[in-house]
Chain A
Amino acid sequence: MKGLFKSKPRTPADVVRQTRELLVFLDLHSGSRGGDAKREEKMAELSKNIRELKSILYGNGESEPVTEACVQLTQEFFRENTLRLLIICLPKLNLETRKDATQVVANLQRQQVSSKIVASEYLEANKDLLDTLISGYENMDIALHYGSMLRECIRHQSIARYVLESDHMKKFFDYIQLPNFDIASDASATFKELLTRHKATVAEFLSNNYDWFFSEFNSRLLSSTNYITKRQAIKLLGDMLLDRSNSAVMMRYVSSKDNLMILMNLLRDSSKNIQIEAFHVFKLFAANKNKPPEVVNILVTNRSKLLRFFAGFKIDKEDEQFEADKEQVIMEISAL
C-alpha cells in the first residue's frame, strides 16, 4: 500500500505520521520559549499538517471527503497515541491550529473502520484523556476547544457513562457558574448533553445518585442568584423529568415537599422565561395521582393564591398544549 505512493503525494497516513512526529517534538521542546527559529518552523509545519488532516476529513471547497482516505487517516491516527499528543499539546498551538485540531478530533469520533467506531475504543482505553478535557474548563484559553472535543467524545455511550460516574460531575456545578459567559455556557451545554443524551445510562445514573445530585441541583443551580444559571437549570430539570425513561426519578422528585417549595418559588421569579419553565415542572407535582400528604398540604394552603396566579398566567404565543396543561393544573388544585 505504502510502496505505491512512495515519493509522490503523501498519503493520509503519511500526514498523520508526520503530525505525530511534530507533536512529539513540540511536547519535548516545550520549555524553550522566544526566538527559537527551529521551533517556529516546526510549529508552522504542524499547523499545515493539521489543516491538511482537516481537509481530508471534511473535504475542501472543491471536493467532498473520500471515504477511503478517511479510513486510512483514522486507522493511523488511533494506531498510536496521536490523539493523546494532540490534546496535550493543544495549549501550545496557535488559535487557528487549535480550531483545526478541535474539528479534526470532533470528526474522528464518527469515523468508522470496518463498521467499528475506533475512537470509542481508543478513549475507553485512555479514559484519563477525559479528565484532561474536563479540567480544561479551568483554563480560559483552552476551555472552548477542550469543551467542544469533550462534547464529541461523550457521544459514545461508554464514555458518557465514565464521565457521569466520575467525580467530575460535581465539578460541573462550579463550571456552569463561571463568570465568563462563553465558558459557563459551554460547560452547561456539556452538562446537558451528559444528562439527556444516553437515556438508559442517564436514568441509571440519576437513580443511583439521586440524593447528592438533586440536593446539589436544587441548592446550587435552582436556588442560584444568577439568572442564566437558574434559567438553564430549570429548563434542564424539565427536560430530564419529562423524559419517559426517567419516570421513576420523576415520581420521586415530585413526591418531595422541599422540591415543591423550590418550584413554587421559581413560579414567582421575575423572569417570565423562568416562570414558564418552572410551570412545566410544577404541573407534574399537581398531576401526580399519589401526592404525599405534605405536598397536598402545601397546595391546599396556597390554593387561592395559586389559582389567582394561574388565572393571569399567559404566554405570548398561542399554545394549546400550555393552555390545556394549565387547565388541568387548575382543576387538580381546585379539586383538592
Chain B
Amino acid sequence: MQQLLSLLRPRSAMAGAAAAAGGGGGGDRAAARYPLDAGSYRLLCKIGSGVSAVVYKAVCLPLGSAVVAIKAIDLERTRANLDEVWREAKAMALLSHRNVLRAHCSFTVGSHLWVVMPFMGAGSLHSILSHGFPDGLPEQCIAVVLKETLRALCYLHEQGRIHRDIKAGNILVDSDGSVKLADFGVSASIYETAPATSSAFSGPIHAPSAVVSSSCFNDMAGTPYWMAPEVIHSHVGYGIKADIWSFGITALELAHGRPPLSHLPPSKSMLMRITSRVRLEDAESSARKKKFSKAFKDMVSSCLCQEPAKRPSAEKLLRHPFFKGCRSSDYLVRNVLAAVPSVEERCKDSNQLCGCARGARCLSPCRHANSVVKNRRISGWNFNEESFELDPTEKTEPQPFFLYHDDDNDRLEHDQATSSTRGDGSNSPPSPPPRRQADNAEKRQEGEEALTAAVVPHLVTILESLEMQRTVVMQVLEGGGGGDGDGDGETAAGEEMLLGYVRQLEQRVQELSTEVEEEMARNAQLQELLHERECGNHTDSSQT
C-alpha cells in the first residue's frame, strides 16, 4: 500500500552538492589524516542542501587549510535510521576508485553527522545543467561524463554493489573536469545479509513507514524518473541492470536538460514505464532542434530495454561505439565548466534570501528559504513538494553548532499548528513562513502569491493524472493484463498485481483530494495573512 508513497519520497535533494578532488586513486586510506573534530574545520559557505542535510565548502585547518566539502546530516531529522546512515558511511569508506566519491572521514557534531569529502569545484551535473545548459549538453561533452560515470559503475558492479540512484544530480565534476559518482544513500550490496530488524515492542516508531532499508532488494529506492521498471515492480527484485536503466535515463537527462516524461507527475511517469517503452523521441519532441548521433541513440535505447537481461552490462557499454574517440576532461573544462558560474556563485543566488552567503562561519542551514526557491525553479521533476510530505514536523531544539534562523523556527511552529488538522502528520508543500523581516516583506509577498498560484494547480494536476492512471489500469485489466511489463505467463499473478495497483491508486487519489482541499484552505489562510500584513497589521501571525 505504501509503495507508491515511498516511491515519491525524495531521495536526497542534494542536487548542488559538491565533493571529491584528485588525490591518489587506489591504495590505502589517506583519510586517516583528516581530523575527527569540528574545531579543525572552518565552514566557508553553503553549497547545497537537502531535506535533512546541508553541504558546506570548508577548509581543514591542520592540513594547511585544504579545501573539503562537508555534508552535515541532521540525524534528528533524517528519515533513515542510524543503521542506514552507518551503512552509507561504511560504503563510502570502503570504495576506492577515481570515479567514485569517497569520504575522507566522518564524525558526529552534536546531533549532526559530518561527512568530510573532497571538494568538487564544479558541482553536480544537475546543477551545471540548470545554471548553463537548460536544454542539455553538447553530445561530445555527454560522452565524456558518461564514460567516466560508466567506469564508476563498472567498479561498483564488480564489487557487487548497486548504486540505485544514478542521475545527473549524483554525478559530480571537479574544476579540472574529473568526474565522480556520489551519494550511496540507497546503494545496496548483494554480499550483505539483511540485518535483523526485530525489536520486540518498540519498533522504529520514529521512522515513517516509507523508510527504505538499504540492504533489502525488494525495497523501493531511487528517484522516480530514473527508476527502472523492475524496480517499480518491486516484487521481482532487481539487480545491477537497474543501474543501467537509470544510466540511460541520465543520458537523456544530459541531452535534454531533464529526464524523459518529466512533464508528467512522478507516479504517472512510473506507470508509463511499466506499460510502455520510453523512447528517445518522447523527449526529443520537446527539443526538436537537437540532433543526436545514431551511436548515441543506439547506446541509450540499449540501456532502456524493458527486459533487464537484454540491457548491456556497464563493462560492455564502455566498449560501445559512442564512447570511441571520446574527448578528454580538458574538453569538459573548456566547453562546459567555462560556461557556468562557480558552485559558490550558484549558491549565492539561492542564498540571497538569508543573506549569509558571505564567507565567515555561515552556519545557518536556512533550509526553508532555499528549498522554496529551488523548488519553484525545478518543480517539473524534482518534486520537493512531495518531499515535504515526509518531512518531520517536530520542533527541533537549537543545537550548539547549528543555530537555526528565526524564519526556520517560525516555519516549524506553523507547520505544527497546521499539521494537526491533517491526521497523518504529513506535511504540506512548502509555504513561506508567515512572519517576515520588514525590508524583505514586499519581495516575499510576491513570492507567496506566486507559490499559492503554483501549488494549487499543481496538486490538481496530480489528482487528475492519478484519475487517469486509474482509468488506464482499469482498461488494461479489462483487456486481459496485456500491458504487464515482465509477467509473461502467470496472468493471474499479473492481474492480482494490477488490482493491487488500482487499490493503491484509489487510496492515493483519495489522500490527494483531501490534501488538495487542505491545501486550498491553507492557501486561503495565507492569503488572509498577507492581506493583514499589507494593512500594516503586525500581529504575531504564527499563532493562526
The residues of A with any CB-CB pair to B shorter than 8 Å are 58, 61, 94-96, 99, 103, 106, 140-141, 144, 179-182, 185-186, 189, 193, 196-197, 226-228, 231-232, 235, 238-239, 242-244, 270-273, 276-277, 280, 315-319, 321-322
Contact = CB atoms under 8 A, between A and B. Distances in A.
A94 B396 contact: no
A329 B93 CA distance: 44
Interface stretch (B194-202, B261-269, B379-387): B194-202
Contact of B200 (A58, A239, A316): A239
Contact of B83 (A58, A140, A189, A317): A189
B292 interface: no
Contacts of A316: 206, 208, 392-394, 425
B423 A318 contact: yes
Interface string B32-64: 100011000000000000000000000000000
Q: Taking each of A58, A144, A182, which has the highest tally of chain B beta carbons within 10 Å of its own beta carbon?
A: A182
11 contacts: A58-B160, A95-B26, A99-B94, A180-B106, A186-B90, A193-B196, A228-B82, A235-B199, A239-B202, A280-B201, A321-B203
Contacts of B206: 272-273, 276, 315-317
Given A140-B29, A232-B82, A272-B206, 4 more contacts: A95-B94, A181-B89, A227-B111, A321-B201
B439 interface: no
Contact of B106 (A182, A193, A197): A182
A128 B198 CA distance: 31
Contacts, number: 123
A246 B159 CA distance: 40
A238 B209 CA distance: 20
Contacts of B113: 181, 228
B518 to A, nearest CB: 16
A150 to B, nearest CB: 14
B397 interface: yes
Contacts of B425: 316-318
Contacts of A189: 83, 86
Contacts of A227: 75, 108, 110-111
B75 A144 contact: no
B82 A231 contact: yes
Interface string B375-416: 000000000000000001110110100000000000000000
Contacts of B82: 185, 228, 231-232
A144 B94 contact: yes
A319 B90 CA distance: 32
Contacts of B203: 321
B23 interface: no
A198 to B, nearest CB: 12
A141 B199 contact: no
B470 to A, nearest CB: 26
B191 A141 contact: no
B75 A272 contact: no
Q: A-B pairs with the 4 shortest C-beta distances?
A: A185-B86, A179-B36, A280-B202, A270-B397
B107 A273 contact: no
Contacts of B423: 318
B96 A96 contact: yes
Contacts of A140: 29, 32
B152 to A, nearest CB: 15
Contacts of A197: 196
A238 B90 contact: no
Contacts of A141: 28-29, 32
A272 B76 contact: yes
A264 to B, nearest CB: 18
A276 B201 CA distance: 13
Contact of B107 (A58, A179, A276): A179
B105 interface: yes
Contacts of B75: 227-228, 231, 273
A306 B328 CA distance: 66
Given A61-B313, A272-B76, A228 B94 contact: no
Contact of B199 (A182, A239, A244): A239
Q: Taking each of A193, A226, A244, A280, which has the highest tally of chain B beta carbons within 10 Å of its own beta carbon?
A: A280
B27 A94 contact: yes
Contacts of B200: 239, 242-244
